[in-house]
Amino acid sequence: MGDPAGISAEVVIKAFVALAREKQPLARQIRRSLRKECANLAVVGDAGVLAEAMRRLRYRIPITPVADFSTAWLPPTALRLFAHSHIDMRRFRFGSPVYGREQLGYLDFAIEQARRGRVAAIVTGPVTKEAVASLLPDFVGHTGYLAEKLGARDERMAFLTPDYLLALQTTHIPLGQVSGHLKLAGIVTSLKMLQQAGRARWGRKLPVAVLGLNPHAGEHGLMGDEEARVIVPAMQRARRQGIACDGPFPADSFFIERVKHYQLILAMYHDQGLIAVKPAFPRASVNVTLGLPVVRTSVDHGSGYDIAGRGIASEVSLLHAIKAALELLAGRCAG
């Protein structure tokens, strides 16, 4: 569910109501995929917070507490809930960063089920890093935490859009440290992961477009040597391993026309990729973690303290995250 004090409960309720009613085209697509894959949805969260969100929204959908997963396919006409916390609603306040233990508990439950082979995909709501970091000072987000707990040595943050899948070579580090974190072997691993994910999503081998780090991709060394020193050698090694990749391309012009020719993209740092993705696909881009033993997707927004409890948060990003998880799961199973 994510942070109880944010918009997570609201978007969960809205998403399940949309799936139950099947009025939105996106909801109908998800229902068809659930039926085709014989996949069930379950929520890990707090019954009281979900009930409060439903009361404020004036929506109606059954919330059914469960203690185990169903072995039969069940249509998403009810919200099946693993009630992993029991927040005192007399003291509950939206917008308060005090529920770090609860947020971490929801995530740990999902991770344990994945370890035991009981779930094939995890869809995460937004966490508030400040609240979780009060318990785990080194916590910087879902991606690294999931990788550590699931025993993944290499993971990559990526964003799936309706047009392409973009992975980030570096993520939440200061911009001045990006160059030092670019390693030949790490870029080769990212290219492998992208190609595997592309085959799962689109069913065929696809080339990867690689963005340069520096303006004009270094301008033949005039504006930096990372392209010649690290990025190009990594691409050459990847090609010898059978991975098709092109570039490095100047990032400032890539997303105008050249992007139309690629479905897989590797960006060198966080904002280089996401400044292009988020304005082009508001609420339709999905955070995906590559390299995990299970599919993991997430909404592309934060906890929304400024609007929590007001009933105006959109469920569209969560629906896209569920849809992407089902698509990636189907591709992985087919492979």
Asked if 42 contacts 34 with a C-beta cutoff of 8 angstroms, the reply is no
Please write the tens of the pLDDT for every residue from 68-87.
999 899 999 999 999 999 99
Confidence of residue 143 (pLDDT cuts 50, 70, 90): confident
Residue 150 has pLDDT above 90, yes or no: yes
pTM of the predicted model as reported, rounded to 2 decimal places: 0.88
CATH of the domain at 322: 3.40.718.10
pLDDT score, position 34: 94
**Strand locations in the chain (E):** 43-46, 63-65, 79-85, 121-124, 156-160, 165-168, 208-211, 245-249, 264-267, 286-290, 295-298
Per the domain annotation, does 48 fall within a domain? yes
For the chain, the domain total comes to 1
Residue 140 has pLDDT above 80, yes or no: no
Per the domain annotation, does 62 fall within a domain? yes
Per the domain annotation, does 67 fall within a domain? yes
Q: How far apart are CA 174 and CA 303, in angstroms?
A: 22
pLDDT score, position 200: 84
Burial of 204: CB neighbours in 10 Å, binned 0-12, 13-18, 19+: exposed
Helix orientation angle between 8-21 and 316-334, rounded to the nearest 10 degrees: 70
What mean pLDDT is predicted for residues 96-118? 95
Residue-averaged pLDDT of the chain: 93
pLDDT score, position 335: 45
Q: How far apart are CA 107 and CA 54, in angstroms?
A: 22
Per the domain annotation, does 168 fall within a domain? no
Q: Which domain holds residue 119?
A: 1-128+293-330
Please write the tens of the pLDDT for every residue from 10-43.
999 999 999 999 889 999 999 999 999 889 999 9
Per the domain annotation, does 59 fall within a domain? yes
Per the domain annotation, does 183 fall within a domain? no
Which of helix, strand or coil describes residue 278? helix
Asked if 50 contacts 11 with a C-beta cutoff of 8 angstroms, the reply is no
Residue 306: DSSP 8-state: T
What mean pLDDT is predicted for residues 236-248? 97
The 10 Å Cβ neighbour count of residue 283 is 16
Per the domain annotation, does 151 fall within a domain? no
Per the domain annotation, does 31 fall within a domain? yes
